[in-house]
Amino acid sequence: MQGISGNQMILGLIIGIAILIVLILKTKIHAFLALIIAAAVTGIIGGMPSNDVLTSITNGFGGTLGSIGIIIGFGVMMGEIFEASGAAERMAQTFIKKLGKGKEDIALAITGFLISIPIFCDSGFIILSPLAKAISRRTKKSVITLGVSLAAGLVITHSLVPPTPGPVGVAGLFNVSVGSIILWGIVLAIPMTISAILYARYLGKKIYQLPAEDGEGWIRPPYQKPVYEDVDTDENSELPSTFMSFAPIVLPIILILINTVLTAMKATGPVVDALIFLGSPVIAVGIGLIVAIYGLSGKYSRSETLDLMERGIKSAGIIILVTGGGGALGRVLRDSGAGDYIAQSISQTSLPPILLPFVIASLLRLVQGSGTVAMITSASITAPIIATLNVNPVFAALAACTGSLVYSYFNDSYYWVVTRTLGIREAKEQMRVWSVTTTIIWAVGFVELLILNAIF
């Protein structure tokens, strides 16, 4: 911002983040309020006019929830119906039977890996997390292992593989083909996913958490090995059919995928317009919820069905608030200019060229929380520099994408979606569950980039 020194921006950033960490870790102040306080302090000390700070907070909160808030609400209502109807139980049985006992975490990671290519990871996790919860309850495998594997599979391809917006934008800025980014993005993503699964297995033993049998809350019994006796039996005729159990999840995914393909093709026409509308994430997940209501709640009365959905809405409230709070902080950090100032300073150093987009994207991600903003901003700054140097632009583009995965924390909405959905409330455990996971993924990607850059 004009008239504000870079040092003042950085001072506001440092004090704001320090206050946020202290409030969350050491006081009774709720994370949502702490996020709003930190956003306000960062903006004011960073030199933003007070009216601009308020505008950034409200726009950041509303903008974040405008994209995923409705989806979170629909998703948690759908999840309650899944569990009460037995659909989640049927899905758990099917996954175990088809993919093999003991490999549920791998199955969920692969599912997330594939689904997040056309679908935002926030939406994918909300839709699929009831499945992780059902498998955990059925097998006694820690929901942390299952949920982290799923969340990692989703975020890795969301960050590396088009047609998600970030990688597509980076490909355009570096003037490389989307096909090349898809190919090399998948190559990079596979070892990163494996590393996340291994960490998730280790973490699941350290934080052994299971869904409560009554569906309310979580329990932490002494660790035990997974149990598979009678898991794959189909004798319970009261459970919904496999088709109807999966339909509320599969239908929105198919609709969103159709939307993505038609939008990319720039197709037109009344039928195309209708399919694009039905495939928008909010509408698609809403349709999935309607399918769940009428396909899975037959044994419940109208009032019982409404009670189930209202129970889901109660659990969604805190997720929505803290997710919006993270968006508010991220917006203030962006609007203050601190992120751009840091990026411009780093671009003037003597770092090896392949590390330039990686480092800038990493710092931007830490500063303002959005992986998409981090990778695209990094690409826009470094692409003109890389074009004049002896660097493979495909690997430089993927370096920007990989850097955006570093240490997800309080100002990242996905951090709150994952940790709150999995029932992790303590900040230290939230960091172990998700911040460390993304940093491991980031570090593995960094090593892969160095190897590829040395070979090709």
Over residues 31-47, mean pLDDT = 88
Cα–Cα dist 343/364, whole Å: 7
Cα–Cα dist 369/67, whole Å: 16
Mean residue pLDDT of the chain comes to 85
Task: Using the CB atoms, write b or e for 100-135: b if 16+ within 10 Å.
Answer: eeeebbbbbbbbbbbbbbbbbbbbbbbbbbbbbbbb
- Whether the per-residue pLDDT at 363 is higher than 70: the answer is yes
**Confidence band, pLDDT 50/70/90 cuts, at residue 233:** very low
Task: Using the CB atoms, write b or e for 386-412: b if 16+ within 10 Å.
Answer: beeeebbbbbbbbbbbbbbbbbbbbbb
Over residues 322-330, mean pLDDT = 79
Residues in the chain, total: 456
pLDDT of residue 319: 72
**Confidence band, pLDDT 50/70/90 cuts, at residue 89:** low
Encoded amino acid at 268, one letter: T
* Residues above pLDDT 90, as percent of the chain: 30
Q: Which residue has the higher pLDDT, 407 or 245?
A: 407
pLDDT of residue 147: 96
pLDDT tens column, 191-208: 999 999 999 999 999 999
- Whether the per-residue pLDDT at 30 is higher than 60: the answer is yes
